[in-house]
Amino acid sequence: MKYCFLALFFLSQNLFAMSNPGKPFGQTPAGESVTLYTLKNAKGMEVHIMNYGGIIQKILTPDRHGKVEDVVLGFETLQEYIKDTPYFGAIVGRFGNRIANGKFTLDGKEYTLAAQNNGQHLHGGLIGFDKKVWKVEAASAQSLSLSYVSKDMEEGFPGNLRVKMTYTLSEDNELGISYEATTDKATVLNLSNHSYFNLSGNAKRDILNQEVQIDASRLVAVNKVLIPTGELTPVNGTPFDFTKPHVVGDRINDTSSEQIVLGGGYDHCWALDKPAGSYAKIATVHDPVSGRKMTVSTDQPGVQFYTGNFLDGHLTGKYGVQITKRHGLCLETEHFPDSPNQPNFPSTVLRPGEVYKTKTAYQFSVN
């Protein structure tokens, strides 16, 4: 009898963990099945997420008239994500953004990574976390937990790394993203989500009229291959000053700014003003036409604000929309790019016995 109760207890726990079964979303070429989960709240907000790359495929949220539309770029089918995507909605890892020349030294040992972007390492390498099928740990109406074990030396990174992450949709229209990781050898780690937001709804306009505000008075300046020079430069008096809200398009082509020229617009990490390690609101985006507003909070030291400068129109996304330059914007909360080679940046080293823990939230409202 006792065992019977125990069995029922574990079964019910398991049923609770999987109270959201999701929907089949196709298979990878290797035959792994992918499932798409819909998180929903009572306010009518929905977030669709798949366990391939942990990709956020849709975020449906109301405008000021209550019209619910999609505010992220992406595709209708898994095959399109597998074929060619600029990281739409994906988790990037083991190391988000660039590492100079695809090399870093840790504890006196040099590691070599894929240098697939202009001779630099980008977003975890050739088959980064964005292209892995993650294990579904638990799925309910309002949350999804995924895990992935990255083997020692996968994509050149040392240590068996165990990652667990959870997406949670709250009743106040906030999508929370939390990550946890441990390793059995010292390694470097920089996880982020690469959603391209477009608050116009269903990507019907580019993002140039949208207003952005970032709580950062310094920029992580870059060189011509978008690797940090090591300097944190004041944004004051430059097109990078978003301490007060600014329309994205206003200064994006201001070629008197060397950093604008180097980035081809905005493609930089802002060094956030909040105290190190603290969790705070760090940025907002507002679309004056639809009234949609997004507030970003994080405990990370930086945010990569990228305005889709490399989107060149060769992809057609959901709703049949051609994805042209500046059709979406990313606010990737993260440690500064190239931190493994920059002794003065906050450390991205994770050692055995330590737990990497971080969270970010995107909250939607109207104004």
Would you say 97 is a known binding-site residue? yes
Residue (211 or 267) nearer to ligand GLA, CB: 267
Separation of alpha carbons 359 and 159, rounded Å: 23
How far apart are CB 99 and ligand GLA at their closest, in Å?
Answer: 12
231 among known catalytic residues: no
> In Å, how far from its chain's centre is CA 244?
24
Q: Smallest distance from the beta carbon of 356 to ligand GLA, in angstroms?
A: 21
Q: How far is the CB of 192 from ligand GLA (least distance, A)?
A: 9
Query: Which is nearer to ligand GLA, 97 or 173 (by Cβ)?
Result: 97
Looking at beta carbons only, is 10 or 310 nearer to ligand GLA? 310
Judge whether 98 is annotated as a binding position: yes
Q: Which is nearer to ligand GLA, 100 or 226 (CB)?
A: 226
The encoded tokens of residue 165 equal 């992450």
The amino acid present at 274, given as its one-letter code, is: K
- For 242-260, letters b (16+ CB in 10 Å) and e give beeebebeebbeeeebebb
- Measured from the CB atom, the residue of 68 and 208 that comes closer to ligand GLA is 208
Question: Is the CB of residue 185 less than 8 Å from the CB of residue 87?
Answer: no
> What does the alpha-carbon distance between residue 289 and residue 199 come to, in Å, rounded to a whole number?
9
Long-range contacts of 310-316 (CB under 8 A, 24+ apart): 310/86, 310/264, 311/86, 315/80, 315/84, 315/85, 315/86
Nearer to ligand GLA, 300 or 304 (CB): 304
Report in angstroms the alpha-carbon separations of 163 from 53, 54, 151, 261: 13, 12, 11, 37
Active site residue 194: yes
Least distance CB 306 / ligand GLA (angstroms): 4
- 335, 300 contact by CB (below 8 A): yes
Least distance to ligand GLA from the beta carbon of 211, Å?
20
Q: Min. distance of Cβ 322 from ligand GLA in angstroms?
A: 17
CB of 263 to ligand GLA, least distance (A): 8
Write the CB contacts of 140 (distance below 8 Å, at least 6 apart in sequence). Answer: 16, 17, 19, 20
Q: Which residues bind ligand GLA (CB under 6 A)?
A: 86-87, 97, 122, 226, 267, 304, 306, 310, 330, 332
Residue 267 annotated as binding site: yes
Residue indicated by tokens 């959870």: 166
* CA-closest candidate to residue 294, choices 304, 285, 303, 305: 285
The CA distances from residue 170 to 18, 46, 55, 174, 325, in Å, are 18, 10, 19, 5, 32
For residues 155 and 267, which CB has a smaller minimum distance to ligand GLA in the complex? 267
| Residue 195 known to bind ligand | yes
Nearest to 308 by CA among 205, 206, 199, 200: 206
Selected catalytic residue, list 121, 123, 194, 286: 194
Contact 304, 330 (CB under 8 A): yes
Residues with a known catalytic role: 194, 332
Binding residues for beta-D-galactose, by number, are: 97-98, 194-196, 267
Q: Which residues are annotated as a binding site?
A: 97-98, 194-196, 267
